[in-house]
Amino acid sequence: MKRIRYFRLAFLFATIIAQASWAGPGGGVLCQISTITALKVGVYDGNTTFGELKKHGDMGLGTLNRLDGEMVALGGEFLRVAVDGKVFPIQDSEQTPFAVVTMFQAEKKVPLKGIPNATELYQTLDHQLANLDGVYAVKIEGIFKHLRVRSVAGQNKPYPGLEEALKNEVVFDLKDVAGTLVGFRFPDYMGGVNVPGYHFHFIGQDRKSGGHLLDCVLEKAEGEIAVISTLDLRLPE
């Protein structure tokens, strides 16, 4: 088994802490396995188990080895949304090539109602942030009139790049569903590390549906936001 190199990056966003009275002492810690750039070029095999990942976060998103489905973590429960849309619990022994998790503690709550699409949702959330140059963890729980989500099948070697793999994504349209969006917002200058802007995965309240968010119509929900000040980035050798 390959050894893991641990690389801790502390992003001390002084302006965020100064401007955000709702930011906790020092902000939260985000643990990330690999980078979005590595995933884009087809690095789909990691050696971090979900048993290890659970020690560092109870909420987050990512994927499994071979890019086999969408991973959603909520309240310490780690789930895989398969390419057929079905949801399965993830075993501690399974591994991930890319994941982002945090021990989520909300620092600000935002009521959300009557939002017609994902673009407006992101704009609404942006207005609640103290500084758009910061990193944030976001959880949105409520009722959705419509959700468009996707999942991807496990890939075979030689692995294609992410853009090529996503040509075979499977899209699901969910209607009148209760559940939770979990995700993060990264600033543009961290684009090589993670997805710039918002990145959400959805899990249904009944744990029977989910996936990577493409678009949504939100009826009524409550958003929760937490500031991230430290990134623990773990790179395989």
What's 178's domain CATH number?
Answer: 3.30.1330.80
**Three-state secondary-structure class, residue 137:** strand
**Two tokens at 74?**
């909520």
- Containing domain of residue 81, as a range? 4-236
Region 65-84: mean pLDDT is: 98
| Whole-prediction pTM | 0.89
pLDDT value of position 130: 87
d(CA 43, CA 34): 9
- In terms of phi and psi (left: phi > 0; alpha: psi -120 to 50; beta: otherwise), the region of 34 is left
pLDDT value of position 7: 40
Domain count, the chain: 1
Q: What is the pLDDT of residues 170-193, one digit of tens each?
A: 999 999 999 999 999 999 999 999
Question: How would you class 59 by CB atoms within 10 Å of its CB: exposed for 0-12, middle for 13-18, buried for 19 or more?
Answer: buried
